[in-house]
Structure 1
Amino acid sequence: MSKNILLFRLFVFLNCVFQIFGQISYDLPAGWFRDGDTQYYDIGVDYATFYEKAPSGFLKSHPNISSLNSDLHSTLAQGFIPKDYLGKQVRLTCFMKYSNVLSSIGLLLQVHSVNGGFDNTLNKNSIVNGSGDWTKFENVVNVPEDTSLISFGAILNDEGVVWLDKCNFEIVEPPDESVSFPFPKFEPNVNNNDFHNFLTYPINLDF
């Protein structure tokens, strides 16, 4: 048997191994972290399902978790100190795909400041559930000068699967005057030292 045939067969074998075992990874890129009831969800990157180019991030519930607690949820999130966005209005856009979502998904965008605030698609739109192909989600939020941290990502409530890909931040100019400061959520006097380990800009927005 020739060397070329052996190499070809090795390539085919390794490709099959990748197709079977290499489609997902539970190692998240730098900047991303898991939050919420993570013991009931698989969270990682998916090399087989993506918006434009591999990979994407995903959240997938364990089977039948609704029988345990209907309030379970988890997030695939990132946080950064928004030094370039202080005093600005910011738009976050991401593409999301979802499958067999029992309750809801949302695009999380959260502002930590003295006055505090919280904003995501679940507050502004109808509950997103069921199944749907890649869809553009966006949130616009004001970032006060005293903001200590912005966190963002995908949230999955209850059962289902959601993929997140191709996120982008941009400053809204001129600002949309219909966007009010986020409603109060956190206690005042947030200490900037609490966030000294965070980056000062978002990274790996397309995983």
Structure 2
Amino acid sequence: MAKLKLVGLSGSLRKASHNTALLHTVQQRLAGGSLLGEPVDAELTIIDYREVPFYDDDLGRPASVEQLDAALRGADGVILATPEYNYGIPGVLKNAIDWASRPAYKSAFYQRPVGIVGASGGAIGTARAQGQLKQVLLGMASQVFPYPEFNLGGAGQRIQNGELTDAASLEFLDKYLLAFTQWVDRVKLQ
């Protein structure tokens, strides 16, 4: 199999974001070439989309949106790392998804394999935001990774200095990533 090209979007633009740290951890784990003793040939590029404006169809397709769209279209799969704000999807992430969802049934997300992960300080992590994201993605006809889910609660204790350090969480992340990369390899766009 050829190297899987994955892209990641963090649902938080904050410099010390737990979700951006989670994506950096994903990058590092994939760069190791194996997970749980099994070979993995995948790389993750984290997309910085902070220049994407609020969705407004009157703007046409700004350059920042074209860059986001091209990055998504060039990927075999996508990993969305979402916090949970007020029981839901962060506005910046939903905005980026809204831009990338056009045109309908021809968008960068159409039939694209997507995995959802998340980190939050709360006890149940990002379960509600992940559920909402699944609904949005299914509505765009994305292929959403079904199982296992990676939902990190208590992120403030498990992520230190921008790195996921909790051994049990790292082991579960490896299980998630191994299953996700194997699934993407089976369902990726031709």
TM-score w.r.t. the length of structure 1 is: 0.29
TM-score w.r.t. the length of structure 2 is: 0.30
Rg (Cα) greater in structure: 1
Give the structure with the larger strand fraction: 1
Give the structure with the larger helix fraction: 2
